[in-house]
Structure 1
Amino acid sequence: MTEPWQWSEQTWRDHVGRVRAGRPLRPESWPGGAKVAVALSFDSDHETLALRDGHVLPGKLSQGEYGSRVGVPRVLKLLERFGAPSTFFVPAVSALLHDGEAQSYVDAGHEVALHGWIHEINAQLPPSAERELTFRAADTLERLTGTRPVGIRTPSWDFSETTLPIIRELGLAYDSSLMADDDCYELLADGEPTGVVELPVEWIRDDAPYFTMNRFGSQRPYTPPRGVLSIWRDEFDLALAEGGLFQLTMHPHVIGHRSRIALLTELLEHIASHDGIWFATHAQVADYVSEPAASG
C-alpha cells in the first residue's frame, strides 16, 4: 500500500473529487422576504450512542434515556414557544425504543429525518451493510410516522464512499453531514451534479463538542454555556447580515439540561428580536433553495 506522499496526481484528485461542493444555493431572498433562514436540528441519539459501541450497562444507557425522558419535552416546549419548526434526526433504534416519540415530533409540526439504524459508523461497515441499514431505517421511520424521510444526517457525520450513492438510490432531497460552506450547496459526485442539496454542518454549531463528558477519556466540558451562547449568537448575526442560513445541530441529552436549555432560550430570544426571520425545517430549506426562482 502506497503512502499519500507517493500517490499520483490522478489518485489524490480522484479522492478529493469523489464528493464535492457544487453550485451555491443561497437564494436572493427567503420566503416572505425573510433575511435569514434558521434551521434548528436535534439528533435524538438517546441510548444508541452506547449501544453502537456495545456498552450495555445502566450508566451510559441512563445518560441517553435522559434525552428522551427530560430533554425532548423541554426542547419541544421551547420550540412551541417560538413557533420554530425544526428537524429531528432520529436513529431508528431510538424511535423504536421510545414509543410514540417520533410521531410526537410530526404532530408538533417538525420533521423526522434519517440518522442511521443504531448510530453506526458508516466507514467501518461493508457497503452492503450500510445500504441495508439505511434502507431499514427509512422503512422504520416511515412506518412509525406515516411519512417517508426526505433527508439524512449520517451518524457522527461519517460519510463513506458508499453514502452518496445510497442517498441517491433512496431519492433523498438533502443531506446534512458535510462542511464545505456556511450556506446550502448542491453535491457533486465525481464532478457531476446530483440534485442533492447539502445543508452544511460544523462542529462550531454543535452542542456536543462543548458539553460532552467522558470520565474514562479526555472529553471534558471546556466552554461555559454563556460562552457557547456568544459563539452561536455571532454565527447567527453574520448569517443574518449575509442573508444566508443559520443551522444548528443539538442533542436532547446534551442541550436538554437546565443550564443548557437556558442558553438556547436566550439564543432564540435574540433571534426572535429581529425582523425577517424564517424558522424552517431542513426539508423546507432544501425544497426552497432547489427552486430555480429562489437561487436565481
Structure 2
Amino acid sequence: MPAADDPTALEPWQWPEDVWRPLVEQVRAGRPLARDGWPEGARVAVAISFDSDHETPVLRDNSQTPGTLAAGEYGARVAVPRLLRLLAEYDVPATFFMPAVSALLHPDEVEAYVAAGHELGVHGWIHERNTLLSRDDELELTARSLDTLQRLSGRRPVGIRTPSWDFSPHTLDVLRELGFRYDSSLMADDGPYELLADGSPTGVVEIPVEWIRDDAPYFAMVRYAGLRPYTPPAGVLDIWKREFDGAVEESGLFQLTMHPSLIGHRSRFSILRELLAHIRGTSGVWWATHEQVAAVAAAGLTTTKGATR
C-alpha cells in the first residue's frame, strides 16, 4: 500500500481524516439567510433565471461545424425574443447569466435585457470548465468577463454562475477578490445561505440551484454522446409546479434555471407559459432578480425593490 504521508497516492477509502475533512470544509454552507420572510409580506420568492450560453459550449469544446453552432444561434435568434415577450406579458423580472463571448456575439441581446429591466450576471468567458483552470487563468477569465459585460451593459454585474455549476479550489477566492456579492452555482440548501471558506464566513451569498429545477437534464441533446431528451414537457411542468408549491408551503424560495436554446422551442415554451400562469395565480408571490434575493439575504431584511402580486 502507498505510504500514508502521500495522500495523493491513496484510494479515497484509505485517506486519513486530515485529508478528507479539509476537502469537505473548503467551501461549505453557512448560516441560512432570508428566513424571516420576504418583502411586503410575500409568502414565497420566485427567482427566474436563464443561462444564455448560445454558441459558447460548442466553441469551448472546439466543435466548429455550422450544425453544432446553429442550435446556439437559435437560442439568440428565436428563443430570446420569444422569452422576453413572455416575461413582459407576465411582468416577470429575470436574471440572465451570459458568457462574455456570447455577449460579444450578441450585443443587441445584452441591450434588450437591460432595456427590459432584467439583471445580467457573469457566466464565464466561453463557458469554460473552471475546475480545469489554474488560479491565474480563472481569475483572468472571470475579470475579463466582468469587464466585458460592464462595457456592453453599462453596469458591473454583482452575481456569477460558474459555467458548469462547480467550484475549483480557487473559485471562492476569485469571487471574493473580484467583489461578487453572490454566487448561484451550488446546491446545499433550498434557500439562500452564506458561503463558508474553511469554516469562516465570507459574506458571499449563495442562491442555490438544483438539476431538478434546470431544463438541461430534461431537454439537452448531444448527438454523438448518446444524450437524448427523455422527459416529456408536461412531466417537467409537473415537477416544477411541485417545486414551486413546496416553496409556497415553506415560505421559501423557488429558483429556476433555463437555457434559451432549450426552453425556447414551442413545445417547451408552452410549459413555461403555464408555469408562470400558475405562479401568477398564487397570492403573495415576490418576483425578484437573483440580485434582489441576494440583497434581502445579505441584509436579513424584508424590504427591497420588488413587487408582491
TM category (shorter chain) comes to over 0.9
Q: Which amino acid aligns with 2:204?
A: V
- Name the TM-score, length of structure 2 as normaliser: 0.94
Deviations 1:255-275 (A, max 9, x none): 000001100000000000011
Cα-Cα RMSD: 1.0
* Cα contact 2:34–2:301 (8 A) shared by 1: no
Other structure's SS at 2:30 match = strand
The answer to whether the aligner puts 1:178 opposite 2:161 as a matched pair is no
Matched with 1:149 is: 157
Distance 1:279 1:22 in 2: 25
Matched with 1:211 is: 219
Please say which structure displays the higher CA radius of gyration. 2
Other structure's SS at 2:180 match = coil
Distance 1:115 1:150 in 2: 12
2:24 to 16, 37, 46: 16
Relative to structure 2, which stretch is displaced further, 216-225 or 16-25?
216-225
Distance 1:174 1:251 in 2: 20
1:91 to 84, 87, 99: 99
Shift of 1:294: 4.2
Matched with 2:3 is: none
Other structure's SS at 1:155 match = coil
Deviations 1:25-82 (A, max 9, x none): 1332111111111000000000001000000110110000000001100111111111
The answer to whether the aligner puts 1:132 opposite 2:140 as a matched pair is yes
Deviations 1:138-189 (A, max 9, x none): 0000000010010000001121011000000011110000000011100000
Other structure's SS at 1:144 match = helix
1:27 to 32, 35, 40: 35
* Cα contact 2:127–2:163 (8 A) shared by 1: yes
Q: Which amino acid aligns with 1:185?
A: Y
- Name the TM-score, length of structure 1 as normaliser: 0.98
1:39 to 47, 62, 74: 47
Deviations 1:204-256 (A, max 9, x none): 00001100112211211110000000000000000011000000000000000
Unpaired runs of 5+ residues, structure 1, are none
Distance 2:197 2:132 in 1: 21
Other structure's SS at 2:228 match = coil
Matched with 2:250 is: 242
* Cα contact 2:99–2:122 (8 A) shared by 1: yes
Other structure's SS at 1:229 match = helix
Relative to structure 2, which stretch is displaced further, 111-120 or 77-86?
77-86
Q: Which amino acid aligns with 1:45?
A: D
Matched with 1:274 is: 282
Unpaired runs of 5+ residues, structure 2, are 1-8, 304-309
Which aligned runs of 4 or more in structure 1 are off by greater than 6 angstroms? none
* Cα contact 1:27–1:294 (8 A) shared by 2: no
Shift of 1:102: 1.0
* Cα contact 2:47–2:290 (8 A) shared by 1: yes
Q: Which amino acid aligns with 1:241?
A: E
Distance 2:300 2:184 in 1: 21
